Structure 1
């Protein structure tokens, strides 16, 4: 057998634990009956029939658009009106007093990939919490980054600022910049959200290192906001 893929790509596999659990739930429903199995694995909007559903207003809007809006090319950065609408929808009345811009991506996963590629160097360590979506690991590995984690919650169930600070300090002894990924609010898979006070602690740790010439970028994964 001749393998056409590059040697560095041979044996490449991906197993998403959420989709694997979903498949197991569907198999169990087929075996034991759907009334005996609750499949709560994938955070999708479903109807009473447990099938994937769409908000009626969304479907109505899509079907009212002219076909040319579906099939025409969009600029690489995304349509200007769309980008501004995303900014308005994201921040609502809490828009920060600073430079704000947006770029279209191929979904939330695409946004994470772009952030990793553009705010970290090849060979860098990227930092996130121990409770995380495991695709973070794959996205980092795919483009030559190394994902490290810290304990997200302390014994009282609060954000573990001490563990976070120690992890940041350790990494920045070896590299000059750091990309931090925080999935909040509604962390996947815990539902945890940083409070305003905990956010202030995170920013204080970052400012401390920035005063010493380090660069820290924070990717806030708000997929479940």
Structure 2
């Protein structure tokens, strides 16, 4: 049962990444090392964020007794805007068409995120003797993160285009802010509704699906207007 549980978690996490890379056409571009480079920039970005958080936003345990400190959490979530800068650097360093750039950046960024944030948890926890649904939830959440990171990379690429319709720029900018503050929004929702982890996972999936669908519509219209696919 332990190995079966662990195998299911690993499959849920890594198979979607492999299938996305293989069947999206990235393998034809030889983008594997570009994904590795994107992961390296992710690591550097997270280190910078940790230094900023440790310097300007030290942990305050007293706030946890009275509930969430909205101002403090908002300021901490603002640091996540650094991820947009990191994705911009990744996109600028990848040659090729738009879909290849955003997929390479998104998969590399998401892969590094999963490797650093969930790999150890699954390797140690999911191989334990006792079954726990939290590892299945984390595995499903990794798939949601893959879609989220690809969506964010697409929005950053659209925002960086000088030939993007100016009327769409405020929409793209607002969606980028939603991507940066999604964790804070999810925490507010959980506290407001007192919902469980499965409901929170479902809400995040719906939020990511809506954001990704809207981004896909904007990208498809823009790609058709300038003749790239």
TM superposition score normalised by structure 2: 0.26
Give the structure with higher Rg (CA): 1
TM superposition score normalised by structure 1: 0.26
Query: Whose relative contact order is higher, 1 or 2, with alpha carbons under 8 Å and at least 6 apart?
Result: 2
Q: Which has the higher strand share?
A: 1
Q: Which has the higher helix share?
A: 2
